[in-house]
Structure 1
């Protein structure tokens, strides 16, 4: 039996059954189409996707499942079912004369943005969303909702979209409706992940490489702090703006391709100290993403671990997006035998730490965290999984 601190995936079949039962209860008929999309954890490359860098995420076995059926009402009705209860939203199917706009409830903007950007007509529909993906853990629940919505619309309409374009449209939806200027990584990996692989994504060319990552002796453990610091909401856009400011000073479209020598030029320009720190993180993190990919392929876990620790220190000291809880978990992991390396993952200010650890040391690491970390962590195994798909029902 898993401990109460372990998050265990419910599985596609169980989530689909729950979603269909909820759909029948709410709409008094059966769903006709279904889709699933995973969350993700990023192994390397945080705060570089919006700088056109390299990132190395994997999809998780935790899913968002959405079921639906067309309606004749001209209205899109969506129900989200969570452990905390049921949330409902409805909005008119968009037309050229009456395009969709962001609004309340806020959670529905992730769905509305995708409906607004879908490359084909969207008629009225009813839908139910269920998920076992931990919310607020930095595991991309937002991209999971966006991509599963797009995939459901593909099933409803019969219109299929090329995967990179699909990811771009879901990213555009998040920019326009929730108003988050995210990079392309989350939507890309949620769309195109492959079981037993990480995905090295070139966020400039939008090309990618599947990186085999399965190993019988090594595990990727995610530790969720269950903390999300209340911020003004400007921190992520501010980091992005600071990185762009550095690129502008250097006369570049982005920080991609910037060298250490050019960072010295930036320093000599007397730019803002925070701008210089953000740029240094990006340049070094892009290098780490390329380098760690090689070591995952050769299973050089010692070097993988060193790069994970380097990344965390950079996110803490240069990008300044860590927090005491994330730092504490990394230090517990660092002191645990059998751990190769650990780093915060995601946008920061809370969320999760990702740890590469020997499988036979996982239980010891959990015990140490529970005894030494002054919080309420939960654990989940990041077993590299498949991306979004239509489910036959």
Structure 2
């Protein structure tokens, strides 16, 4: 059975360059942009309630390579994705001579097109610049690790570079402005009523820190994560979700209905559960449960950030379990696979806490675990998740994979040391807040301890991915 490895920054770049040269012989891209994904430690489904969220960036993300085209010969932009997870057509042409608007197909292109439209509206260049780009990502699509935001922020970074020498009335974007632009693009073009967390994290995160974001005023503060004996473990159930399917929007609506009944603009303004109880008879049981999650999750997130700041991992873990229970029972966005992974993690000594992360309906869990217990945690998940995989996803003999055993493989990144100049082209396209991901990728190639491992488990056609993403700047 073949072990699969998450692509490094260098591998993403190599794949993109190879594909570009194959499609456009005798031509070279001149711009490379990158933006990371994120994992949310706690604070789920509260960003659109003006609450607190507590994410951190992870060393996987989206990279875009491309170049400007001669505007005297064409007004069209060529956009292609290399993602194997995209079932629709993988390329699209956009004519800048026409008014930009969302397209029906392929759906993935709207995440890119939305950023382009809002960037041009914001920057107001004297002339629109046609371009061609290729896009590749190492963020699992539908895994709750913000693949869409990493695409949007990478695209916005590409456009900043593309128009860097063009006269315009308002070209400069602050990091927060950039996040807001990308968030608006997803809301208006991909039709996902998301909050600001994902794009904000991709733009402003920094190494060795989590980011406590106040979604009411878009301010934030960094919480250090420097203890090398504690790790963050992300586990991908490989159950896919599509947030625009309606379930996400329904919950946004439920929360807003509750806020209106309480006389507030957003649920962040609710001061206590007693206030909610006073109007319980005026709302449906579903609306009440959605509001109860949002109100308690906002409170939990503030407390959790302070606990982590004090290295109180026991308290932080307790709040993670509370968060998962609330997401499962009140917000109803978990699923059997996520619940099982959380319970398997809970059974291991040395695990402080675990919860689902992301929008839900599949995706990933995030676990805070002592470094000394990481191996045991993975082994427990491996053995426990095996039967569940077989139960929910029986083997299909027609897929050519007759091995139903789960195998675990420690996939070391290459031990060869790449000179820093090899990363120059990739670094050029990054916002300052994203550079640390490239640095992480570079350092991972020079370190072979357990913190530089990407743990992979495969069960038939199902994959459970383990990413050790904390303390990966060892040796700096």
> Normalising by the residue count of structure 2, what TM-score does the alignment of the two structures yield?
0.76
Match of 2:130 among 124, 130, 134: 124
Secondary structure of 1:67's counterpart equals strand
Report the equivalent of 1:391: none
Point out the more displaced range, 28-37 or 14-23: 14-23
Larger Rg: 2
Q: Tell me if 1:261 matches 2:261.
A: no
Match of 1:18 among 15, 20, 29: 15
Match of 2:202 among 169, 179, 190: 190
Offset, 1:25: 1.9
**Correspondence list, 1:241-320, <5 A:** 241-259=253-271, 260-267=273-280, 269-320=281-332
Match of 2:469 among 374, 382, 385: 382
Secondary structure of 1:65's counterpart equals strand
Offset, 1:98: 2.0
The question of whether the paired residues in 1 share the 8 Å contact of 2:143 and 2:241 is answered with: no
Q: Tell me if 1:91 matches 2:88.
A: no
Report the equivalent of 1:389: none
Q: Could you list the structure 1 runs, at least 4 aligned residues long, displaced by more than 6 angstroms after superposition.
A: none
Number of residue pairs the alignment of both structures matches = 380
Report the equivalent of 1:66: 64
Higher-RCO chain (CA-CA 8 Å, sequence separation at least 6): 1
Report the equivalent of 2:441: none
Report the equivalent of 1:209: 221
CA distance in 1 between counterparts of 2:471 and 2:23 reads 34
The question of whether the paired residues in 1 share the 8 Å contact of 2:116 and 2:156 is answered with: yes
CA distance in 1 between counterparts of 2:210 and 2:315 reads 17
Report the equivalent of 2:240: 228
Report the equivalent of 2:189: 177
Report the equivalent of 1:367: 379
CA 1:291/1:232 → structure 2, altered by over 3 Å: closer, same or farther? Answer: closer
Offset, 1:50: 0.3
CA RMSD between the two structures: 2.0
Point out the more displaced range, 185-194 or 80-89: 80-89
The question of whether the paired residues in 1 share the 8 Å contact of 2:227 and 2:471 is answered with: no
Offset, 1:237: 0.3
Secondary structure of 1:204's counterpart equals coil
The question of whether the paired residues in 1 share the 8 Å contact of 2:261 and 2:282 is answered with: no
The question of whether the paired residues in 1 share the 8 Å contact of 2:79 and 2:93 is answered with: yes
Secondary structure of 1:369's counterpart equals helix
Match of 2:41 among 40, 43, 55: 43
Offset, 1:142: 0.5
Q: Tell me if 1:146 matches 2:147.
A: no
Structure 1: 5+ residue runs without aligned partners? 387-393
CA 1:178/1:132 → structure 2, altered by over 3 Å: closer, same or farther? Answer: same
Report the equivalent of 1:108: 109
> Normalising by the residue count of structure 1, what TM-score does the alignment of the two structures yield?
0.92
Structure 2: 5+ residue runs without aligned partners? 165-170, 390-461
Report the equivalent of 1:390: none
